A and B are shown apart, each in its own frame.
Chain A
């Protein structure tokens, strides 16, 4: 991906240098800013971003280098042997303050109505490095407050501090030159390139990288104050890439998804489509167990489901099918595979999922299911395909079906004598089922997905399940008990550990430490 500045291969000498009076040694090729970050010295910046090129336009990261007449931008200057750098001399602090004063000169007094307030780099840097009263009382240069840039983005040109991060995201990540700067001086402004709109598939990354509230997402703006949100680490369920994300939620409502840096998977980015997958968590949910179309208690519904499945199994296991989905977590897949093999005694286990879609060579995968790899690892070679399922339904081989998870176009369900459905959403399968059980979704459970690279990545529950929905592995265990199983699971970790023991290709996977959600207000203004 463009924007990764990796050191050229081959051995390179280390450089020895002094920062703030302390001797340090770094590999050659680092910039001064990166070197400072490695040793925990804070140098503020606006325009620099670890995933983008460095144009050194904001001049906020200036440091003093001995022998240089003027302060030098640290984000742009490579480290060199015998360099002596000062990041906290009176002159550097003064320059830093002056740059902030300059940046704030025409900045509107918008904090109370600004979406970025609370996670704004300008607020953070002012408070950390300036914290002085204004010296100017002249009027500010006015610019357009609401500029519709594209499908997802609105721009406030007054708030823009002209760092060009968004331009570089378009150029280097999405590889479409949609944004440009126009005019000069205090009239300089960000705008779309002539004849274009900001409609590339990665446009919402511009909102993340915007250090201030100039670029706002139509999906999120004015819906929630950022500092009230709780951040929970998770994985995007939109496709097989498995971009690492943070779920930002408050009071059991997800407000947005933002990418979580992972150099091995998604770097710092994710696609617009993936960001909007959270909407489905709050739409058309199945919230209570249903028996014959009417809400029922869990006990009654599980009893009825077990009765239907047991009678089909006892009649003829070869006419009983189990459909699993590539949208399910590894834990759910493992528990249901075990249920099918040990207690339903059927070999007709099918794997269904969402149909293929568009893809690119950046992040988006054609496989729109987050856990295809995991399902194939856990289900093994005997899994039948969605095509087999369609065929078996049409030819009438199947008379009873346990349909788990979400799957589009499984085929006609009308010919079945009994149908038990576990799903998170209302729809045709629920309408056709004798028993429908509500399934918790990816944002509501602890679990794991295995992405297209074979990386097993953790999901953390960000919100409580809708209505009476339960995690799939828990329902599998209850169904298993109703069918006479002795096994039970207390939590997802237990299922995961067992899966890692039994599935050879998962043996190296690690459940990881528990993650406590943090409220952004107390995340110390991540900026």
Chain B
């Protein structure tokens, strides 16, 4: 893992009064500790987590983060579904970047099937494109929600509008705005729409402008900086110790990006940078995400430029559904279709851990096959599970008001964390 220099956008200026330590000690106020429940209904808890704080005055003495409000038995359900039927479930893991989950899961099964080297190149490019779009929507959502929670409502609408452009494009492609289920084992379900690339280029142009606007509105904004700077500092050692990955890990100076360090799909063919932070505070997490969106756009433009022609699904009747025309007119393809739908793809017995760079960090799938058409075990390593865990360490000592930006910058997504 190589260290990279901080990106130019990470920490340029420091405004504000300084950190919380210089403020009059809350301890000095005559008070006694009391429990305070934040969530699960608190709007800044995004509806899915509960924090039991022990506060003294406004200062947090200890915190108990309680997850599980969005537990949907993903892993158990997966044991009762065929390998292909699990795609819709993966949509609902990190539901602000479903394509990345689709891709991560498909790669795991393909590795176990030993067909990961045979996926058509066009399909791999398309997977990169839809994945990077999803990464942008993931970061847009995180920044929008956090900005709104810090009273920057305008920013929220700017960013949500940009997210909507991208989701509308993905809706055109997959038929669903959010729950795409677009990726298949062996490729993707359908080719890009005819005008996909021109539309995406147009959207990226507008997104860039939006990000510039947001950068102007937040990065030098006194109120925003006061709430973000120096709050929730994570050291690089802590990041490693707590298993933090993704933008949270990178903000702490841990330059680990699965796309760079363990390239998958065709990521090694693209030129992009991995931004890292220097302080590991909330502002660095914001800045890293902002820069990552720009880098994703770079990848998208390169991928569109070099998009090869060809099939988008593996030509193997044991893995991918045959074309409908064959299914309706020949017994061979009819049987293949039937077996794939009813029995599922026959994945040879074995186990594998496959990991990709999700919106929040290393998204891992550990799957075990017993040779039948459905997994014996399908375990997810959700990146924001680790990210949420570190809150227990970060929050004590901060003010109640700091919970909101600190939690927001962790981008805990209930669907992914609780599964």
**Interfacial residues, chain A to chain B (CB-CB below 8 A):** 104, 107-109, 111-112, 117-118, 122-124, 126-127, 130-134, 137, 227, 521-522, 524-525
Contacts and interface: CB of A to CB of B under 8 A. Distances in A.
Interface stretch (B18-26, B100-108, B314-322): B314-322
Interface residues of B, number: 23
Interface of B: 316-318, 322, 326, 328-336, 338-339, 342-343, 346, 371-374
A126 B332 contact: yes
Contact of A131 (B316, B329, B331, B373): B316
A123 B339 CA distance: 7
B167 to A, nearest CB: 35
Contacts of A112: 334, 338
B336 A104 contact: no
B342 A109 contact: no
With most chain B CB atoms within 10 A of its CB, the pick from A109, A227, A525 is A109
Nearest to B329: A109
A111 B334 contact: yes
B334 A133 contact: no
Shortest beta-carbon contacts, A-B, top 4: A134-B330, A131-B317, A134-B332, A127-B339
A127 B346 CA distance: 10
B318 A109 contact: no
Contacts of B331: 104, 107-109, 111, 134
Given A127-B318, A522-B373, A134 B342 contact: no
A131 B372 contact: no
Nearest to B317: A131
Given A522-B373, A522-B374, A525-B343, A133 B330 contact: yes
A131 B318 contact: yes
Given A124-B339, A131-B336, 5 more contacts: A134-B333, A227-B342, A521-B342, A522-B372, A524-B373
Given A131-B317, A134-B326, A118 B342 contact: yes
Contacts of B322: 133
A442 B277 CA distance: 70
Contacts of A524: 343, 371-373
Contacts of A522: 343, 372-374
A122 B335 contact: yes
Given A108-B331, A133-B333, A522-B372, A123 B338 contact: yes
A132 B316 CA distance: 8
A111 B338 contact: yes
A521 B332 contact: no
A109 B316 contact: no
B176 to A, nearest CB: 26
A130 B343 contact: no
B198 to A, nearest CB: 35
B335 A133 contact: no
With most chain B CB atoms within 10 A of its CB, the pick from A118, A131, A521, A525 is A131
Given A131-B317, A522-B373, A104 B342 contact: no
Contacts of B333: 133-134
A109 B332 CA distance: 9
A108 B328 CA distance: 11
Nearest to B343: A525
B78 to A, nearest CB: 14
A525 B326 contact: no
A104 B316 CA distance: 19
Contacts of A130: 332
A112 B335 CA distance: 10
